[in-house]
Amino acid sequence: MPPRGHALWLDCDTGLDDALALLFACRCSDAELRGVSTVAGNCALDAATENTLRILELAGAGRIPVHPGAAAPLVAGIPHAREVHGIDGLGGLAGQLPAARGRPRPEPAAVALVKALRAHPGRLSVVATGPLTNLALAQAIAPDVPGLARQLVVMGGAVGVPGNVGPASEFNLSADPEAAAAVLAAPWPIVQVGLDVTLQVRLGETEAAALEATPTGPGRAVPLFCATALRAYAAAYRRQDGDGRAPMHDPLAVAVALNPSLVRAAQLPAAVETAGALTRGMLVADRRVLARPDLLAGRRTIQCCLDVDAPAARSWLLTTWGAPPGA
User: Nearest approach, Cβ of 180 to ligand BDR (angstroms)?
Assistant: 12
Binding mask 262-301 for ligand BDR (x = CB under 6 A): ----------------------------------------
If the CB atoms of residues 188 and 233 are measured against ligand BDR, the closer one turns out to be: 233
Q: 223-253 burial by CB neighbour count: b if 16+ within 10 A, else e?
A: bbbbbbbbbbbbebbeeeeeeebbbbbbbbb
Given phi > 0 = left and psi -120 to 50 = alpha, else beta, which region is 15? beta
Q: Could you say whether residue 139 binds ligand BDR (CB under 6 A)? A: no
- Alpha-carbon dihedral angle through residues 155, 150, 53, 171, given to the nearest 10 degrees: -10
Three-point CA angle 288, 270, 174, nearest 5°: 125
The answer to whether 88 contacts ligand BDR (rule: CB under 6 A) is: no
Return d(Cα 62, Cα 55) in angstroms, integer.
8
Q: Rank residues 81 and 152 by Cβ distance to ligand BDR and give the closer one.
A: 81
Which of 171, 188, 233, 321 contacts ligand BDR by CB under 6 A? 171
Residue 81 binds: one of ligand BDR, Ca ion, none (C-beta under 5 to 8 A by kind): ligand BDR
Q: Rounded to an integer, what is the distance from CA 83 to the centroid of its chain?
A: 19
Backbone angles phi, psi at 23, to 5 degrees: -65, -35
Q: Is 200 in the site for Ca ion (CB under 5 A)?
A: no
Residues 6+ apart with CB under 8 A from 206: none
Which stretch in 102-110, 138-146, 164-172, 298-306 sits in contact with ligand BDR by CB under 6 A? 164-172
Active site residue 249: yes
Instruction: Report if residue 81 touches ligand BDR, rule: CB under 6 A.
Output: yes
**Residue 16 or 258: which CB sits closer to ligand BDR?**
16
Q: Which residue's CB comes closest to ligand BDR?
A: 171
Q: Is 207 in the site for Ca ion (CB under 5 A)?
A: no
Nearest to 284 by CA among 297, 298, 295, 274: 274
Site for ligand BDR, residues 37 to 56, rule: CB under 6 A? 42
Stretch that binds ligand BDR, among 145-153, 166-174, 267-275, 307-315 (CB under 6 A): 166-174
- C-alpha–C-alpha distance, residues 29 and 59, integer Å: 13
Residue 43 and residue 18 in contact, taking contact as beta carbons nearer than 8 Å: no
Applying the rule CB under 5 A, the residues between 104 and 133 that interact with Ca ion are 129-130
Query: For binding to Ca ion (CB under 5 A), which residues are involved?
Result: 13, 18, 129-130, 250
Query: For binding to ligand BDR (CB under 6 A), which residues are involved?
Result: 15, 17-18, 42, 81, 84, 129, 155, 164, 170-172, 249-250
